[in-house]
Structure formats: C-alpha cells, structure tokens
Structure 1
C-alpha cells in the first residue's frame, strides 16, 4: 500500500462534511443475519489459524516469488474447503526472483554479526565477498563527488546518510529537556537537508546512484532506510544490476559508518544468496458466491495479497486479506441466499502500482459496470475508524444506511466524510473509483503502521491485534449484507470537485491500465 489517501485531500481542502457514523440507540436490534455474523466471528473465527498458515507457513508474498504462488494455491484450497468457488486469474508476467539466505559479518576491527537484509531482486554473490567498507561522505559540489568516485572500486559502499541520533524523536520529547528536544530535531533537519543536497549535487538520485557505484567497480552497495523508529527499516527493491544491494540496520550501519569515517576501515564478509528464475505469471485470486436473484450484479471484498518481503507482510496486507477471508467465510456459512454475486478479490502486485486491480477493471468491464460497491482493507491492524465517500455525490444516503445496519460496537469508532474526494491511487479501491464505481477504503486506526510496520523488517505476525481485525471482519460482512439488500444499484453520480492548490478545478482520477510486464519497472 502507498501511504496516500483521499482523507489527505479532504483535510487540505476542507471540502468534506464530517459526520459520525449513524447508528441506532444503545439497545440496538440487529438484523438476525448480521447478528449471526457477529456471533460467528466473535466465537468461531479462523483469523489466527489462517494468519498462521499464511504468514508463518508461507511468509511474505513478493510478486514473482515462489511464496506468492504458494499463497495463491493455499488461498484457493482454503476457499474451496469453505464451499466458495475460487480461481486464479492471470493478467501478465513479472521478473521472477527467489530469496535465499543472507549472512553479513564484520571481520575487522572485531568480529560481529551484522543485521542486514538483501533487497528484493538483488543480484546474488557468486561467492562470499570479503571487502573493505567505504562510507559516502557529504558532498557540496559535483567535483567532490567525481574526485571521490574512483575510491569505491572493490569496496562495499555505504550509500545512505548516517543518523547522528539513533533514538526516536518521541523519546527525546518524552524524556529529554525542551532544549535537548529542540537541539536534536533542529540538528536532524540540518543533517537531512545537507544529505539531500549532497545527493542532488552528484547529478543522480537514490535510484540511479547505485548503478553509478556499480559501474565504478563497487563490490556491493549497502543502505539503511531507517524509519525513525528504533529497529525498523523499510525494505524495498535493489537498484543494482550485477552486484548485491543490502539494507543494514540503523544501529549496525552507524557503527560501520563511524569506523570508516574515522579512519578505522572496517572489513565485511557478505554472502547474499538468491535466484533469478526468468519470468513468473502475475495474477489475482478471486473467490465467488453466486447471487440467487441478481447474479450479474456484484459486491466486492477487496484486499491486496502481495507484499514486500522484508518480513512477513503481516499488516500490509496480511491483515486485510485474512479479515476479508473471514468475512466471506462467514457470509458463505450464514447467508445462503445472497441476491447479488459476492466476490472476494485478493490482488497481485498492488505494491508496484495497483496492477492486479487495474487489470481486473480492464479485463472485466461486464463485472465492473454492475458492481454495487467495493469495500477495501489495506492499512494495518487497527479497527476501522474512517470511511470516505470517495467523491460520490449520494454516498451519504446509502453508506449511512449500510453503517446503521452494522453493530454499534463496531461503528461507534467510525467517522465518515461525505461526499469526500476520490482517491487517486492509494490502494485498490482507487482502480474502481476511477472507473466511476463506488469503492470505499475502510481506513484503520494507525497502531504505528506508517513508521513501524509499513514495508519494514518488523511487519510480522506478532504485530497483529486480532481483536481489531475481528471487528473489521464483522464490519465488512455487515456492509456486504446491507449493500446486497438494496433493490437497485446505488447512485454513482460524481460530485463537482473543488479547486486544488493551483487554483484549478480538480479532475476525477483517470482510469489507468496495469503494468502487465515488469520491463518498465526495472528500467
């Protein structure tokens, strides 16, 4: 998931009417079917079971990896065991890569294991690399950079900024004096600005610079993409073509940087194993419960299935996946006569640009045009606390009604923004919104998502708050039931959008096609 959503625009432009979700009084009498959903999900849910199978047994689901294939087979088998017809829908290909073991050890000036992760799609080491470490300094001119560049030959290059302070800002604020907090935050900004300027004067950027280092003979490139939270680093893809690229924990990276900077040249042994397996198919996994009265109209439970692979892909987006799986399991068991066809769509390659959902919209116009609503989960482990009307003029009318049918204990936390603004690409509901279909992000309480688990080495099973995603499964199942009870497809008129920052009227997001191959991504 990208940390962008339409709530940001609403906050900036102040155009959305904020309302508390409308619910019945405290002694709420639920529809008997929804009441049965609540009982089933509270007392008989399979959230921990399927989370364990997916996250512990299979692990992260990088597009093009064997683990993604294993996860698809598992999901189809699981759906079928629940009596839900399911299928894999191929839509393209991607660079195939399989992670192996990575070992990094400092051998001089002392022996120490280094906490490091090989970046996705990184070239492997043919044999262990034993090399000195060189730290890229802060440059003030391009001439300085060019004069330094020959020094990288045969070295493992530290390419990221060294963090002067390894504690998070919130600790300085909590425990330090006001003067200390001001000093640290001021110094951090100055360091960040100086480093950004240093990269700029090289004439390159963080994506292109690794290739320049490689072309000048570097043995490997090491970065440290620290989130600002102790122990948490973001793990994305390698930018090198022929040499390994790794991410080192902030703590170990700082030690290596200081040693190199102060004249004690550290030495490292690096063994990064992985396999490039040509190309692999990309696909979505789709489960289907056929409608009894209006089988050619649809309601979609949406979550992306893929992840980055620095950890287990637990909160991005294992939690969305298992909550939606639990919702459709419950619906299948307790709502036998659904009017419309209910789909659960587990998207592939969301992390590389919403490719799975964009392919579905492009490949299934007959489904898309007759879709009642899309409910999407994709932002961590917290309970849903915000729902945006996505720019649909009448969203207040029907979403308020649907939320009123859900349990008060779930909806009492939710604030709504109607009609809201359309999301331009934060997650997979955006693919449907662009096509004019009511798609709603069920936005969750943060639980440190943005800084601690989003795309990091800490996105693991133990970070899941099952009580919260249980609530989300209840909400999703309830919304599906309420949307299914509508006599007709809801109104999908679009609001007149306000002016943007540039003073010009904002435009509805355009429908974008998927990347059906990885060629452009890896250019």
Structure 2
C-alpha cells in the first residue's frame, strides 16, 4: 500500500475522471528501525468524594504523517490542556476524579488508549465515562453514545440542562476509529463528540490540515461544552453506568455494524476475536 497526499490523490482522480490513462512512478526510501516507544500524557484532578471513580476525557496527540494535524487533532489536544488549566485555576473540586489523557499512536491503530485499558484493566469497573474528542474544530452538535441506552439517557439529561450553550442531538450508535474504541470493547461507557464537519473533511489526513483551518471561535465554545459535560458526569453521583460484560459487548457487536467497522480498520477485528483486544 502506498500512502499519497490527499491533494495528489485528488489530482489523480481528476485525470481518471476525464477518461485519461494514468501512470505513476513511485520512489520510496525504505528505512528499517524500531520498534519505537511512544508515550501517553496523563493528568488528573482527584475527586473530593469518590476519588476511585474516574471520568476520563482525551484527544490523540499524534497526526497523520503527511500533515501537521491542526484539526486532526492538535486543536482538541489544546482543548484538553486548557480545560484542565481552567479547572485548576478556578479551584474546581469534582466529586469524582477527572482524568485528562493525550493519547499517542491513534493514527497507527489506537495504540495509546489500548495500552491504557490493558494496563489499568483492574480499574475499569470504576471508570464512569470515557470521552473522546477527535473530529476537528467545527461546532459540537451532540455526542455519539456508543449504542448504549443508559449512556444515551444520562447524556440526554445532561445536554437538556445546557441549552444556554446550544441545541444538541445525541446519536446512540457505536463507532470505531478513535480512542473511545478500547473503552467500548472493555465495556466502559463512552462518548465521542460529534462536530459539524466544517474544514475537517476536505483536509482530513492531508498536508492542508494546517492552523489556518481551525475554527477558533467554535473551539472555545466546544471547550465549554466538553467541560460542562465532564463536570456533570463527575459531580452527579446518581449517574450509574455499569461496566458491560464480555457477553454484553458481544451482543452489541452482533446487533450493530461494529463487525463491519472493525474489519475495515487496521486489523482490530482479528485482535478482538483472538482475545488480544477488549474484555
């Protein structure tokens, strides 16, 4: 497989659509090395009443090799850092622990979040919610709630109280492709922020994913939404999202298109069925 810059691929498609033949000469410099070690960055604000219960929010800090990754996903890494900074500055004391994660290796196979769920599997029963923010800087329109009615119900109630920040629609389907995945396959309630695509899709995994494409006004507003949802999950001790069993997760896979999604992405289906990934 040869990876092309999006701009070059689009040019090739334009040529082919004009019924012209196309020949490519590919020059590849092959270098051997590795494996290479990478790291997640984790920080937390300890809960004041239930410190062992965790609400974790994260964004991946690596980018696709051909671009700078401003929308995918540098802007949301900055969001995570700033939410943590503001909560500390305001001396916010959440009842549950809020853990902030900057995941590495997402673009290569969701490796950073996979490593976390493996290392801390014994603690996952106490993970109340895992949120991933990874679809650019367009305005947040709601959350994907992972095909779990209990997560949908809790998130709907939270969003209904945030009408001053906008009108939101939550979508109860499970999605593969970002760092919610391993939490989902370990049975932890999970959310993915859903954004308007704005400048994200045309510049996805491309050299053109640069800082000038970031919607700074929307990013600031998104920070308020993510912070508010996080705090509600951390402070509402009536929210109870039990961890799913392996059997529950298998039912979710069977009743949705998760199998097709996993088979389309980096071999994670086979890791799941071979017991190398998930609960």
Please give the range of the TM-score, normalised by the shorter of the 2 chains: 0.7 to 0.9
Deviation by residue 1:192-246 (Cα, 9 ceiling, x = unmatched):
xx87xx99xxxxxxxxxxxxxxxxxxxx825xxxxxxxxxxxxxxx6x536xxxx
SS at match of 1:441: strand
- Which of 234, 241, 251 pairs up with 2:30? 241
- Which of 339, 346, 361 pairs up with 2:95? 339
Deviation by residue 1:52-102 (Cα, 9 ceiling, x = unmatched):
xxxxxxxxxxxxxxxxxxxxxxxxxxxxxxxxxxxxxxxxxxxxxxxxxxx
In the TM superposition, residue 458 of structure 1 has moved relative to its aligned partner by 0.8
Q: What runs of 5+ residues in structure 2 fail to find an aligned partner?
A: 263-268
In the TM superposition, residue 489 of structure 1 has moved relative to its aligned partner by 5.4
- Which of 322, 338, 348 pairs up with 2:78? 322
- Which of 471, 484, 489 pairs up with 2:221? 471
SS at match of 1:351: helix
* RMSD of aligned residue pairs (Cα, Å): 3.4
TM-score (norm 2): 0.78
Distance verdict in 2 for CA 1:361–1:500, change over 3 Å? closer
Larger radius of gyration, structure 1 or 2? 1
Q: What runs of 5+ residues in structure 1 fail to find an aligned partner?
A: 1-116, 120-158, 167-186, 200-219, 223-237, 243-275, 515-523
Equivalent pair of 2:128/2:241 in contact (CA under 8 Å): no
In the TM superposition, residue 164 of structure 1 has moved relative to its aligned partner by 7.2
Distance 2:48 2:128 in 1: 15
Query: Greater share of helix residues, 1 or 2?
Result: 2
Which is further off, 386-395 or 313-322? 386-395
Equivalent pair of 1:405/1:478 in contact (CA under 8 Å): no
- Which of 200, 221, 230 pairs up with 1:480? 230
Distance 1:362 1:371 in 2: 14
In the TM superposition, residue 415 of structure 1 has moved relative to its aligned partner by 1.6
Residue matched to 1:58: none
Residue matched to 2:51: 295
* Matches for 1:25-44 after TM superposition, within 5 Å: none
Distance verdict in 2 for CA 1:336–1:160, change over 3 Å? closer
* Matches for 1:132-171 after TM superposition, within 5 Å: 163=12, 165=14
Residue matched to 2:191: 440
SS at match of 2:187: coil
Residue matched to 1:188: 17
Equivalent pair of 1:376/1:429 in contact (CA under 8 Å): yes
Deviation by residue 1:339-398 (Cα, 9 ceiling, x = unmatched):
111111100110000000001000001332211111211011101114122011212321
Distance 2:153 2:65 in 1: 41
Distance 2:186 2:14 in 1: 46
* Matches for 1:113-124 after TM superposition, within 5 Å: none
